[in-house]
Amino acid sequence: MLIALFWPRWPILYHFPFFIFLILILSLSLVFRTVTIGLQRFAEQPKYTEVNPGQDALLVCKVIDKRGVCSWQKDNKPVGIYPKKYEWASQYGIGQTAHVGGDCSLWVRAAQLEFDDGLWECQVTASDFTTQDALTSQPVRLVVRVPPQRPRLEYEGVHVPPGHNVTVDSGAVATVKCVSHYGNPPAQLKWFLGDQEVSPLHPQTNSTEPDNPRTWSAASVVQVPANKERHGTILKCLALHESYAARSVAVEGRLDVKYAPSVRLLGAPQIDLEEGKDSLILRCVADANPPASIVWRRAGRSEIASLQESLQLRPVGRRDAGMYTCQAQNSVGTSETMSVQLDVKYAPKILSAGPDRLTTAPLFSPAAFECVAEGNPAPTYKWVQRISTQGKPFLDRGRESRLVIDNVTYDYQGEYECRATNFINGQERTATSDPIALQVVGAPQVLRTTSASGGAVGHSVSVRKGDSATLSLIVCADPRPRHVAWEWGSLRLEAGNGIGRYRVDDVTQDSREDCYLATLHIADADLQDQRPYYLVVENDRGTDRHAINLRVEGMFSVVEPLELSYLLGIAGGCLAAFLILICLCIYAVRARKCCFRNRNNYKTSEKDR
């Protein structure tokens, strides 16, 4: 626009520098806009996917700086969004046709061969009509699996029933074909001669079935030299397919040939081999003429384990576990395979415990923890909860790898450990996970058990008349209680307040997390104070109310037997003293009468004295 404005007044030949300057400014603006806004581009494109019939498949498609509209095509035909069939993977209640951000991934629900098997493409329209940044992914195959028929062997054009012989002259070559029909995708065929996998003559051939083009026929041919040592060996064709219940189906035929060398294995372990502690020496002894060479191999690996008669493992490790085979070979042929299965034991190791280091669960809701450990033999599990009770720091909570708490209360709040245990040669091996914390949130809950932090906590408290009474209850709540009060009769007393002989302490932290101690003090307890006292607690999530009973014992309720015996003793003493006094008085009266009766009998001389 600036060029058009100045063009009539300043010809380009006279103002060439200024023209270059304008072009530079426009270029920088365009570059700045491109860098700032960015063109649409794929972050992740769909990949080859297989799914069983009736199952869901996720086709992943993610776009960076997406501003266009996502769509999908199957076999070059547009696919609409239909609930319960084709759905956006990123929808979260936004709508059946919505997708969030740059996620254009698509769920294919209840996949079916006739509708969903084929080539899929993810497409995104351009940001606007001037920006040519529309996107189309590479076509990828979505395969709806169909289990193939059981494979079959053919020898010299004749079907070989399972378990029957394949008769071959010594020194000849047996050419055997394995065929698997009507599978999607085609089955993968492997050949095994005994326990040893053998390579086919040519790569496996796959072709669509003439009467059902959506399914495949697979064929593989193997040639087996018919040496004497192979007499009685099983020739097995193994068809691998994800739709099979066991992932594979085999068909076998027995080779009717012979071969000269034979081998025997010595040194197979008789006790458990423990990783890092035990050693093993295996010997493969061959009986052959001419002498045979020995080859040790390990199943699943292409390299040779040893060319010596002895195979030494010092010390053994878990990496050494597996199937070991040895063969003897001479100029005549190859011996049958001898094998030994090595099982190396090792102590447990916690792989994961969680799902998270901290789990938050609402009060009275379920909660679950999962513990995964490796070990040989397979370890047993135990979940324990750390508690603060003296003398018993842990509480058993479960004996499975998965701990499920059906109804979470504050008693379950705290740290948990997963312990995995196994036994090797009679000795216990244990691994312990890092602590996992369970945080309980919800309405207050007045605990109906005794507190470990001390104080008179329970369902009832007894005091003597005139003594002070202390009533305490533990309440757990998250968030912290905003109202704590004691109620009795028509009275209500909030925490931190007092009235007359009654005083309520401010709540204090208990030894357990999110638990608090609420205490009511009653001075100079009287019989009229004997009643239930209710603790009422409230937070943002609800309330709870629980009673504790106070019993006041009177003056005679405890000491009455002692006082009665004391009073009886005093009464008895007084009675005895009274009787003694009466006796003394009677005696005195009688004695005085005797004196007066003899008073005239005194002599004058005695009187003067």
pLDDT by residue (tens digit) across 50-72? 998 889 999 999 999 998 999 99
pLDDT at 569 over 50: yes
Number of domains observed in the structure of the chain: 5
CA distance 308 to 284: 9
**Could you tell me which residue, 129 or 374, shows the higher pLDDT?**
374
Q: What's the confidence (pLDDT) of residue 390? A: 56
Residue 484 and residue 390 share a domain: no
Q: Are residues 91 and 169 in the same domain?
A: no
* Residues 364 and 315 grouped into a single domain: no
What are 431-443's pLDDT values in tens digits?
999 999 999 999 9
In this structure, the answer to whether residues 109 and 175 fall within a common structural domain is: no
Residues 273 and 332 in one domain: yes
Section 509-535 average pLDDT: 91
- Is 37 a residue whose pLDDT tops 60? no
Residues 52 and 104 in one domain: yes
Q: Give residue 454's pLDDT.
A: 39
Residue type, 136: T
173 and 103 co-located in one domain? no
Query: What is the value of pTM for the model shown?
Result: 0.44
Could you tell me which of 462, 457, 449 has the C-alpha nearest to residue 473? Answer: 457
Q: For residue 596, is it within any domain?
A: no
| Residue 170 and residue 254 in one domain | yes
Residue 331, pLDDT score: 75
Residue 600 located in a structural domain: no
Residue where one domain finishes, among candidates 342, 366, 384: 342
Give the residue numbers spanning the domain of 74. Answer: 41-144
How sure is the predictor about 31, in pLDDT bands with cuts at 50, 70 and 90? very low
Q: Which of 218, 243, 259 is the last residue of a domain?
A: 259
> Of the residues 553, 575, 592, which one is the last residue of a structural domain?
553
Is there a single domain that holds both residue 436 and residue 464?
Answer: no
* Co-location of 403 and 476 in the same domain: no
CATH of the domain at 521: 2.60.40.10
Q: What's the mean pLDDT when you consider all of the chain?
A: 84
For residues 486 and 94, the model is more confident at: 486
Most confident option among 40-49, 228-237, 262-271, 551-560: 40-49
Mark whether 64 and 117 lie in a shared domain. yes
Pair (108, 161) in one structural domain: no
Q: How confident is the model at residue 163 (pLDDT cuts 50, 70, 90)?
A: confident
In a domain, 365, yes or no: yes
Which pLDDT score is estimated for 14? Answer: 41
Q: Is residue 598 part of a domain?
A: no
513 lies in a domain?
yes
Output the pLDDT for position 548: 93
- CA geometry: angle 246, 247, 248, nearest 5 deg: 90
What digits encode the pLDDT tens for the residues 324-367? Answer: 999 998 877 788 888 999 999 999 999 999 899 999 999 999 99
Q: What's the token pair of residue 395?
A: 């509480």
| Residues 86-114 pLDDT 10s | 999 886 444 444 566 789 999 999 999 88
Instruction: Tell me 576's DSSP state.
Output: H
What is the C-alpha to C-alpha distance for residues 106 and 139, in angstroms, rounded to an integer? 14
The pLDDT > 70 percentage for the chain reads 84
Identify the pLDDT of residue 245: 86
Amino acid symbol at 162: P
Q: What is the pLDDT of residue 291?
A: 82
Quick check: is 565 in a domain?
no
Task: Give the number of other CB atoms < 10 A from CB of residue 142.
Answer: 21
